[in-house]
Every structure is written in structure tokens, then in C-alpha cells.
A and B are shown apart, each in its own frame.
Chain A
């Protein structure tokens, strides 16, 4: 029997704010344990939460970017459970009135080849709600240690419909959400720092069946490739279980990316009965049209929108565009270089091939790169104008990456510019070349176009190899076609 998988993802994204969601102590990653707490975070008696306006702005903006309806009215609920990572014994979340409803995430599946665009799909969202993150538990042989630094960090949960069918789709979905959140300045989405986390609900059913199968929740998918590998593993495991006459048990499984295997998570917290009720300490939030309009104006162009615009406006190949648009800073950098140079394709090539190679090799980053868009633009112009040959331009690039000098300065200093310096000298060499090759001249005059190559070696020798073949060709043709 053929099976199809049905996958829904719950993606948690930490919102990048200065302070926590209901307390004004600072929020952040990598601080000494328990140095980002205050009485509200620790739920000391008598404390009251106060909403962080920036967290609300961020989740509304995220919702607008993903095409959600923003609820005109939403509220906060307590999700009650005992666990040492939760100081209050409840988590403030949103139960039946989330702030964002519906929406969709555009994804791209792998194309038939690397240089071809793959199929695009739109994965529908159920909702996005705002909640607080919990503390971090560190497990040891005989006990666990609690660090509350993370507790109270603003967190949004993006819930998809069970609308994906392959591990590749889930991978593409997460990649797209991640880029969207980074574009919007909502989160840095560093999975190693827990800023983006993903749980997957996976079931399988015979192809053609409309009823959903028993779902398994896969946790601990803590890198984007673990999401793909973990889901692929889980689908194979479920198919194998059914094919061997077994059944799928509804359970939570933990995926270990190192071993590539998932195992059942036997936890006392499995019997979920959260007894949600409205939090009496927090006032409901009303979002009006003016608020939405203000945030809508802050929403950037989304990665796929930008890619379509780049391909159309700058005529750059898909391969180049797909390297550029997944990194907002890199795509902005390209756009500036494209405009300054007037040659978007050449600028794109220098950025994607040479700049990224040098950045990678030196373990630097775009941010600290001394080569700025103006450098790229000048280099493109020098090459395009024939003042720099390709090999010399590559040498200039490496030097300018190291020193930050403008390409013209480097070319002059290292005598890399194409020779001759002025058109008069080149023309003189060309005249001499024609005079020295009467055979080629007569061949050319009788229509043998390739005879022009007979002069080029002479000129290039005179120029000590530094002349632009393009300029030589142009100058020769001008002279040969002129009435003698």
C-alpha cells in the first residue's frame, strides 16, 4: 500500500526585545545563569505582569507579513502545569483568542536542477499567538539545574495547518519562516541559541484516505536539517510499523540529530490537562486599523517577492538570485552595487562568487567586509570599460578585500591596469600590426573575418599582455573598416 504523510509544524520564535514580555528586566542569550531575573520573572508573591508593547508590535508585524487576520480583540490565558522550568506553575499564553488568525507561508521546493527554480506552494497557517518562554533546564546524572534567564522572553508560536506532506516541504517552510522573521527584524532566528524551535506533528495515511492517521509529535528538532532528517525518519518509521502489521501509538518522540533516531519520550507531563483560563492580571488588547496600518508600513518586501523583482528588474539568473535573497543584508548590498554599477549581472557575479568566497575563506562576515557596494561598482566599471582584464580584476578583488582600497587605486599601485593607458597608443600599435601583416589584411578585406586575429597577437605583444582583447578588437575594426 502507498502511504502519504501529513505534517503540521509548531514553530516557536523568540522575539528580539530589550526587556521581557511581562517584566522590564533585560532579555538576552548567553548571560551568566540567573542574571536576567526580577520579582515578576521569578513569580514572587505580589508581583504583577505588565505587557511589553514591543512584543505586541512584533507579533502583529509578523502576522501582517504572513497574511494573517489580526484579531480586533485578544486576551491572555494561563496554561497551568507543574514543571521546574516554569516559576509560576503556569505559562501566560493565548488559548482561544490568538492575536493572529490564518495566513500562509510561501515555500519553494527543490528544483529539477540547482539552477532552476523549484515549485512554489503556499502552506496555510492556523494561527500565531504570543506567549512567554520558560526557563532552561540543564540535566545532570542525579539532578537538574534551573536557569530562569530565558523565562519570560517574548515568544510567538506559529501553528501551521496539517498541510505538508514531505520532509522537504517542512524544511522549505521553516527556511521561509526563518528568512521572513529575520527580514522583519522580529528575531535573529538562531536555532543554536533557541531563538527558533520546531515541533512537528506527523501522521501517515493510505493515499486517497481523507481521515487523518494517528499523529506523533516529534520534539527537539533543533536545527533546520534535523527538521528534515527527523521528519523523514519518522515517516519511514511509521510506514514500516504499519507495513509490518503494527499500529501507530499517539505519543511524543524525541529526535536525536546525532544518531538520526527518535525515541518515545516517557514523561509524567504527557497527560495534558492545562485548565486554561483568562489571566486576570492582564488586560485584553484591542488592535485598531491605525495600529495595523503603522506596522504594515514597516513590513519589508518578503524574500520571494524580492527574488521575483530581482530576476525581473535586474535580469539576474535564478542561481544568483537564490543566493542573494535568503540573506537580507546581502540582497540589500547587491541592490546598492547593482544600482551604482549599472551592471547588475556583473555585480551579482562578483558578490556571489568572489565576495562570498573571500568572506567564507577569511571567516569574516558581510557586515565587517571592507569591500562595500561602491568597491564592487567601481570594479565592474573598470572591467566593463576595458581598463581591467578579468585576471587582473580578480587580483584587484583579493587585494581590495584585504585592504579596503578602491579598485582603481590598487590597479594603479600594482600596475594591473590594461595597457595602453591612452587610446592613441593602442591605435598606433594597431596600425603597426596591420602594416606588418599584409596577408591578414587582404584576407580580411576579402571577407575572411577571422583574419583579424592575425593582428591581435602583434598588438598584445606590444602591450605586454595587458591590453583588453575587447578594445583591441574594436580599435582594429575601426581602422580596418575606415577608408584607407
Chain B
């Protein structure tokens, strides 16, 4: 089945920060299109008697008390950072 017209693969790729080749664009358009078609089918099911839910399980109010635990040592926290300076993670400049 062809991908639905509302699927803009360039936009989706941009939001995901992915640079796709023309071949990948075609491939992912097909796959994402199949997902959308599947959702379309699900949308046809009559759910008028079913309460909407944000979660698969009817479990509510899961929380912890507000008690602070020790933090990660800073050298451990930064171990995966590709670059660091002054105990902070270096990233490309994000404002002009």
C-alpha cells in the first residue's frame, strides 16, 4: 500500500535529526505508512463504551516520598561526555 499523503518523510526526518538517503526515505516512508494504515484500521474499532486511558494498566498514584539520596560523583556523571570543561559538558554553540 502506498504511504498516506499526510506522511511527510522529510519533516519527520528533520524532527528526528536524521539525514536520510533517497533510498532510506522510500524505505521508511513505506514502513511508517504501514504503521499509519494499521492505526487507521484500529481507529475504525467501535470504542464508544470504553473509557479513554493513558496507560495500559489501571494503576494510579505511584510515587515516592521527597527524600534526597546521594548524587552521582561528577566524574562518573560526565564519563560518557565526548568533551568536558569546568565539570560541564561541551556542546556546539546553540545561540548566535
Q: Do A and B bind each other?
A: yes
Residues of A within 8 Å of B92, CB to CB, are 143-144
Residues of A within 8 Å of B68, CB to CB, are 18-19, 24-27
Residues of A within 8 Å of B90, CB to CB, are 143-146
Whole-angstrom distance between the alpha carbons of A17 and B63 in the complex? 14
CB distance from B40 to the nearest CB of A (A): 17
CB distance from B14 to the nearest CB of A (A): 8
A139 and B77: CB pair below 8 A? no
Residues of B within 8 Å of A293, CB to CB, are none
Q: Which residue of B lies closest to A81 (CB)?
A: B15
B46 at interface, CB cutoff 8 A: no
Q: Which residue of B lies closest to A32 (CB)?
A: B87
Contact A283 B60, CB 8 Å, known A26-B71, A33-B88, A142-B93 = yes
Residues of A within 8 Å of B74, CB to CB, are 32-35, 37
Whole-angstrom distance between the alpha carbons of A32 and B60 in the complex? 36
Whole-angstrom distance between the alpha carbons of A161 and B22 in the complex? 46
CB contact list, B46-82 vs A, under 8 A = 53-57, 59-72, 74, 77-78
B17 at interface, CB cutoff 8 A: yes
Contact A143 B69, CB 8 Å, known A51-B62, A51-B63, A286-B60 = no
Chain A count of residues within 8 A CB distance of the other chain: 52
Contact A147 B71, CB 8 Å, known A51-B63, A75-B54, A283-B55 = no
Whole-angstrom distance between the alpha carbons of A145 and B68 in the complex? 26
A267 at interface, CB cutoff 8 A: yes
A454 at interface, CB cutoff 8 A: no
Residues of B within 8 Å of A33, CB to CB, are 74, 86-88
Residues of B within 8 Å of A17, CB to CB, are 66
Q: Which residue of B lies closest to A274 (CB)?
A: B15
Residues of A within 8 Å of B89, CB to CB, are 34, 84, 145-146, 148
B38 at interface, CB cutoff 8 A: no
B94 at interface, CB cutoff 8 A: yes
A278 and B54: CB pair below 8 A? yes
CB contact list, A136-160 vs B, under 8 A = 137-140, 142-148
CB distance from B83 to the nearest CB of A (A): 8
Whole-angstrom distance between the alpha carbons of A34 and B90 in the complex? 12
Contact A283 B71, CB 8 Å, known A139-B95, A145-B89 = no
A53 at interface, CB cutoff 8 A: yes
| A1-43 interface code vs B (CB 8 A; 1 in, 0 out) | 0000000000000000111000011110000111111110010
Top-5 shortest CB links A-B:
A54-B66, A145-B88, A26-B68, A278-B54, A75-B54
